[in-house]
C-alpha cells in the first residue's frame, strides 16, 4: 500500500516536472492529488518547488492541510462553470477566436459554448517547442469546433486577416499567473496581445482567480534540447517558457468573478 502510494506520488511529480501534465489548472489539480497521497511537510516542499511560474499550484498546496481537500478540489469546477457561462455570453455568432498553447480554462469554455449552440471558429498556434497547440486543436476538433492551426511565426498574418485568411474577432488566452501589472502565460503571448491591440482585436484572459499572486515569480527556462536536440556545438540556445503580458493589452479578465477589467479584478482577489 505504502509502496504503491509512493509510486503514484512520484509519478505525478515526474509528470508535472516533465510537462506531461501541463497547464496551470491541471498542474494544481495533480499536485493536490499527490499531496493527498502523502500529506506531509516534506511533500509540500517538494510540490512547491516543481514549477516556479505556477501560483495556482502554490495556492492549493498552501491551503492543503488547513482547508479540507474536497473543498479545494471543488473550487476548480466551481470556477470553471462560472467562467464557461461568462465566455458563452462573450462569444458572438461567427466569431473567429484566436488562442495559444493549451489552456484548460479556455478549451473547456469553448467546448461549453459550442455545446450550447454557439457557432464560431478557432485559430490556434502550434506552440513550439512542445506543440501544446496540437492538443488544443485535437480537443476542439473532437468537440466539433472548426479549428485552424498556424505555425507560431504566422501569428501576425493569422490575426490580421491577410492572404485570404479571415480576420480574428477575439483573442482568448489562458494564464499561469495574474499579477498586479498583467499576466504571465506561455511564451509568445505578449506578441499576440500586442498585435491584437494594434489591430483593435480585444484580448480576454480566461483564468481562474486562484492564479493571482502578489509574489515576484521567476520565469521558467526549459531544457535546451526541446528547442534543438543534438544541436551543433557552440550554438547558444535559450528556451524561455513563459512571459509577461502587460495589462494595457488586456481588455478584460474572465474569471469566476465575471468579465472584469484588470482594475476591477484586483479589487476582488
Task: Decide: 175 and 242 in contact? Cβ < 8 Å.
Answer: no
Binding of ligand RUB at residue 75 (CB under 6 A)? no
Site for ligand RUB in 105-164 (CB under 6 A): 105-106, 132
Q: Sheet containing 177-178: give its strands across.
A: 177-178, 182-186, 242-246
Binding of ligand RUB at residue 103 (CB under 6 A)? yes
Binding of ligand RUB at residue 182 (CB under 6 A)? no
CB of 166 to ligand RUB, least distance (A): 24
Interface residue with ligand RUB among 13, 109, 175, 195 (CB under 6 A) is 175
Q: Sheet containing 120-125: give its strands across.
A: 147-150, 120-125, 95-99, 170-173, 203-206, 252-255, 258-260
Binding of ligand RUB at residue 53 (CB under 6 A)? no
- Write out the H or E segment, with its range, that includes residue 244: strand 242-246
Of 111 and 165, CB closest to ligand RUB: 111
Task: Decide: 241 and 222 in contact? Cβ < 8 Å.
Answer: yes
Binding of ligand RUB at residue 86 (CB under 6 A)? no
Task: Decide: 249 and 194 in contact? Cβ < 8 Å.
Answer: yes
Binding of ligand RUB at residue 241 (CB under 6 A)? yes
Number of residues that bind ligand RUB (CB under 6 A): 19
Binding of ligand RUB at residue 16 (CB under 6 A)? no
Binding of ligand RUB at residue 55 (CB under 6 A)? no
Interface residue with ligand RUB among 12, 16, 22, 60 (CB under 6 A) is 22
Q: Which residues are catalytic?
A: 101, 176
CB of 130 to ligand RUB, least distance (A): 7
CB of 102 to ligand RUB, least distance (A): 6
CB of 80 to ligand RUB, least distance (A): 9
- Characterize 75-100 residue by residue with b for buried, 16 or more Cβ atoms within 10 angstroms of its Cβ, and e for exposed: bbeebbebbbbbbbebbeeebbbbbb
CB of 3 to ligand RUB, least distance (A): 30
Q: In DSSP terms, which residues pair with 183 in a beta bridge? A: 178, 245
Binding of ligand RUB at residue 209 (CB under 6 A)? no
- For residue 129, whether the previous peptide bond is cis, meaning omega lies within 30 degrees of 0, is yes
Binding of ligand RUB at residue 23 (CB under 6 A)? yes
Of 186, 246, 191, 182, residue with least CA distance to 220: 186
Q: Enter the C-alpha cell of residue 125.
A: 498556434
Binding site for ligand RUB (CB under 6 A): 19, 22-26, 101-106, 132, 174-176, 185-186, 241
Amino acid at each position: 500500500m505504502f509502496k504503491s502510494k509512493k509510486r503514484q506520488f512520484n509519478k505525478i511529480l515526474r509528470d508535472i516536472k516533465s510537462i506531461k501534465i501541463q497547464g496551470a489548472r491541471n498542474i494544481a489539480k495533480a499536485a493536490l492529488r499527490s499531496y493527498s497521497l502523502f500529506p506531509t511537510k516534506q511533500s509540500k516542499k517538494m510540490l512547491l518547488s516543481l514549477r516556479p511560474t505556477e501560483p495556482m499550484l502554490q495556492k492549493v498546496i498552501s491551503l492543503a492541510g488547513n482547508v479540507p481537500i474536497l473543498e479545494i478540489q471543488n473550487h476548480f469546477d466551481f470556477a470553471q462553470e462560472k467562467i464557461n457561462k461568462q465566455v458563452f455570453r462573450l462569444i458572438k455568432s461567427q466569431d473567429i477566436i484566436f488562442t495559444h498553447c493549451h489552456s484548460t480554462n479556455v478549451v473547456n469554455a469553448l467546448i461549453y459554448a459550442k455545446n450550447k449552440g454557439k457557432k464560431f471558429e478557432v485559430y490556434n498556434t502550434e506552440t513550439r517547442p512542445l506543440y501544446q497547440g496540437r492538443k488544443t486543436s485535437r480537443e476542439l476538433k473532437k468537440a466539433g469546433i472548426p479549428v485552424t492551426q498556424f505555425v507560431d511565426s504566422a501569428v501576425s498574418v493569422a490575426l490580421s486577416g491577410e492572404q485570404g485568411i479571415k480576420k480574428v474577432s477575439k483573442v482568448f488566452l489562458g494564464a499561469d499567473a495574474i499579477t498586479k501589472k498583467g499576466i504571465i502565460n506561455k511564451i509568445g503571448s505578449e506578441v499576440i496581445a500586442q498585435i491584437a491591440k494594434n489591430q483593435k482585436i480585444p484580448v480576454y484572459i480566461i483564468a481562474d482567480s486562484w492564479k493571482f499572486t502578489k509574489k515576484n515569480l521567476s520565469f521558467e527556462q526549459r531544457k535546451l534540447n526541446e528547442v534543438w536536440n543534438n544541436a551543433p556545438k557552440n550554438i547558444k540556445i535559450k528556451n524561455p517558457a513563459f512571459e509577461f503580458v502587460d495589462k494595457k493589452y488586456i481588455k478584460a479578465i474572465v474569471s469566476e468573478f465575471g468579465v472584469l477589467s484588470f482594475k476591477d479584478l484586483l479589487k476582488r482577489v
